[in-house]
Amino acid sequence: MELMYSFGISHWIERSELADYLIASLLAAEPPLPFIFAVASANAELSTDTKKRVEQSGRGLLSSWIPQKMVLAHPATSFYIVSRK
């Protein structure tokens, strides 16, 4: 089971710390929930600490570009969350 989360290329959370909190929650999930978090917006900001925690966790992937159709077609992808204004 895997989660893909994307804000799209033109939007980002107005309060960047909320993205840090969301990722912290994903990292704390038990049982582990592997995730892909797309940060394509030019306004995207994540704390250095959050980026390090994701990298060290082995549970998540942060990327500025993700082949969405391929990820969504993968049998391990169970959830897709997208935020649109």
Instruction: List the pLDDT tens digit at each of the 85 positions of the chain.
Output: 666 656 655 566 666 778 888 889 999 999 998 888 887 777 778 889 999 999 999 999 998 888 888 888 888 888 777 665 5
CA distance 10 to 70: 21
Residues 79, 3: contact at Cβ < 8 Å?
yes
Q: Quote the pTM value.
A: 0.75
Residue identified by tokens 């995730």 is: 35
The answer regarding whether domain 2-82 maps to CATH 3.30.360.10 reads no
